[in-house]
Amino acid sequence: MRMILKRTPSWFGGLSLWVVLSLLTGTAHAQSPRRLADDMAERTRACTACHGEQGRAGPDGYYPRLAGKPAGYLHNQMRNFAEGRRHYELMTRLVDPLTDAYLGEMAQYFADLQLPYPAPKAQNAITPDRLARGQQLVTQGDASRGLPACTQCHGVRLTGVQPNVPGLLGLPLDYLNAQLGAWQTRQRRAHAPDCMAEIVQRMPAVDLIAVSSWLARQPLPADTRPAERPPAGPALPEALSCGSAPELSAKMPAKTPQGARP
């Protein structure tokens, strides 16, 4: 059988070559590396992919805010993931190759970002009396169970305390519930002695939900920065010493107002 070959017009060959060259040129342009800024904002894009632009919090309610939290707290949490006290494989894989000094630089970068908070969005169904119970535990504690008020460690404004205690306001309800639950089931730990684990173990689940529900409904104060020192008052009892925030066990006296006699 004879095969009949059709002659390809000469112009078609030239057009094909032009198309191939154009594709190759376009690919080369697409593959040329983009010049990236040599700064921490660029280096932490892997963080903000989950934790939101500039660390403002992820949109799903489970990735918490990083911006403005105390540097010591952020540094401790990255260490906790690297050393197995907290469990989330993606975080562990991200921080494991990094030196401790570099983790400290990342923590300081996010701590220095003072950005506005969104309005609280918690709308879970909870009765007024349970919300009142949550407020009582946050602001007064429960002496019958040996529970200090949240404000005793996290600051009167609940915005945290330098250098190691995080704020409790501006956090999504789902995140608060997940972390309190993780402490109760011992899936989350901190440096020993772990005061949060001890506190949460003394609380029934209904009280934990009351606390998280009240916190997630509170507006942020005008000044959202962490306090410079723990509130004045008695130090935590030895049984509730915090390995990740030793300053809470040896509180400094409140500052003397400027111009006043000590």
Q: Give the contacts of 218 (CB within 8 A, at least 6 positions apart).
A: 120, 158, 169
- 203 phi and psi angles, rounded to 5 deg: -115, 130
Same domain as 92, residue 132: no
Structure tokens given for 160? 């945290």
Same domain as 140, residue 216: yes
pLDDT of residue 20: 38
Positive or negative: CA dihedral 86, 87, 91, 96: positive
Residue 17, domain member (yes or no): no
Q: Tell me if 215 sits within 8 A of 169, measured CB to CB.
A: yes
Same domain as 174, residue 101: no
pLDDT digits (tens, 9 = 90+) for 111-131: 999 999 999 988 899 999 999
Rounded Cα gap, residues 250 and 201, in angstroms: 23
Same domain as 174, residue 109: no
Predicted TM-score (pTM) of this structure: 0.80
Domain boundary among 115, 142, 161: 115
Tell me which residues of the chain have a pLDDT lower than 70: 1-33, 235, 250-262
Q: Which residues pair with 161 in a beta bridge?
A: 165, 227
Q: Where in the sequence is the domain holding 238, given as residue range(s)?
A: 120-245
Same domain as 162, residue 57: no
pLDDT of residue 36: 73
Domain boundary among 59, 88, 115: 115
Structure tokens given for 155? 């600051």
Rounded Cα gap, residues 11 and 115, in angstroms: 61
Same domain as 103, residue 124: no
pLDDT of residue 24: 43
pLDDT of residue 124: 93
pLDDT of residue 240: 84
Check which CATH number belongs to the domain holding 233 and give it: 1.10.760.10
pLDDT of residue 26: 54
Q: Tell me if 139 sits within 8 A of 150, measured CB to CB.
A: yes
Same domain as 124, residue 58: no
Domain count for the chain, please give it.
2
Q: Is the peptide bond before 59 cis (omega within 30 degrees of 0)?
A: no
Residue 65, domain member (yes or no): yes
